[in-house]
Amino acid sequence: MVGLLRIAQEGPRLPRLQGHALLHCLRHALEVRPPLPPSLLPPSLPPSSQSYTDFFSQRLQAALSLPFVPVLKLSLSPSLPSPLPPSFSNFEAGLNYKDVQDPAVTVSFPLLSDPSTSLLAWTTTPWTLPSNLALCVNPTMLYVKIKDRKSGKNYILAEARLVQLYPKVASAKKELTAEQKAEIYEVVGAPFQGSEMEGWKYEPLFDYFVGWDEEGRAGGKEGGREGGAFRVVVDGYVTSESGTGIVHQAPAFGEDDYRVCLAQGVIGKGTNVPCPVDSNGRFTEEVRDFVGKHVKEADTEICVALKGKGRMVEKATYSHSYPFCWRSDTPLIYKAVPSWFVAVGTVKEKLLANNQKTYWVPAFVKEHRFHNWLADAKDWAISRNR
């Protein structure tokens, strides 16, 4: 069946029309055959709410929608009452940046295979550390094992980021000689690529989620230290511009964290992830030592706890630009929010085929803009809580 979409011009209405066009292609890709209106001109399209309601009622019955846990920017201000904290688009989140000072900590993660050697990770959000599930390194970056002369401990970090631990190494006033560097630290063995570290297992910072089990992901007999979580994963997003070249992963509180942990099998798509923060930004009972504390206020207590465990290597203050809610003027955080998505990826080939059967005016929309959009189509979010 050949669909007809007549588009007079590309203007402000095009994104809306693209939504109806995608709905049209989805209906045919999923073999849904509701009656078509006499004309498919934009003014004659069926009411958006009824159209979408009918479509999704059929898809949910056919189990072709799926639960998903995207990581969104949320405002946790109590002045914005809602069953769920309001989420923000990238545009809204960029409206109110402010220069702030946050604690910046370097934390150690002893290797299970060699407890005398620790991986070092740096973060400006200590409140996410209780939810750590993995550590991420860049597969092509060079890493080194060093022995710190002052403490006598062995650490692993990116060769290019020794300056994070030893600022004197990068002093612009006077470059240290090899002898002077040797008085501060000793390089043990030759540098190695991050890819060699993939799969290394380490001792978790806290035991809150060591027993967590979600379909064999993280924790339990099939996960945790023996399976998906508390291990080193690799991804190219890790850079040598800041930190230690090793990034701690809390998938409920970061877009890249979620993406990497999902791709590396630490968590499963459509499953829950450890997210011990409620809609008011306070820790839940899962994090028993800080329950009821607001995440930003808990930073100090978490740092004290880490120091008591002997896992705090360095603590400083970091000045940077941070997004605030443009309505309440409170800090935004990334947080996983359970949502419903249409599994577009499962029918992408059918969508592309139906687009070829559709008559477009102008024709280049069919071959370029809309084709490219479908070819790169992501699972379609249908939940809203703004």
310-327 pLDDT per residue, tens: 999 999 888 767 777 777
pLDDT at 220: 45
Segment 329-382, tens digit of pLDDT:
777 777 877 777 777 777 888 888 888 888 888 888 888 888 888 888 777 766
CB atoms closer than 10 angstroms to residue 175:
11
**Residues 323/73, Cβ–Cβ less than 8 Å:** yes
Higher pLDDT, 4 or 119: 119
Phi, psi at 120, each rounded to 5°: -110, 130
Neighbours of 67 (CB within 10 A): 13
pTM flag (> 0.75): no
pLDDT at 158 over 90: yes
Question: Which residues 6+ apart lie within 8 Å of 35 measured at CB?
Answer: none
User: Taking phi first (over 0 means left), then psi (-120 to 50 degrees means alpha), and beta for anything else, what does residue 245 get?
Assistant: left
pLDDT at 29: 53
The pLDDT score that the predictor gives to residue 360 is 84
In 3D space, the residue among 10, 18, 50 whose CA is nearest the CA of residue 34 turns out to be 50
**Residue 67 pLDDT more than 50?**
no
Q: What is the b/e burial string over 23-59, where b = at least 16 CB atoms within 10 angstroms of the residue's CB? A: bbbbbbbbeeeeeeeeebeeeebbeeeebeeebbeeb
Which tens digit of pLDDT belongs to each residue from 257-313?
988 998 998 988 766 788 899 878 899 999 999 999 988 889 999 999 999 999 999
What is the residue extent of each domain of the chain? 4-68+343-381, 87-336
Give the pairing type, strands 185-193 and 4-6.
unpaired
Fold of 87-336: Isoleucyl-tRNA Synthetase; domain 2 (3.90.740)
Which band of pLDDT confidence, cut at 50, 70 and 90, is reported for residue 143? very high
Per-residue pLDDT, 351: 85
pLDDT on residue 7 = 28
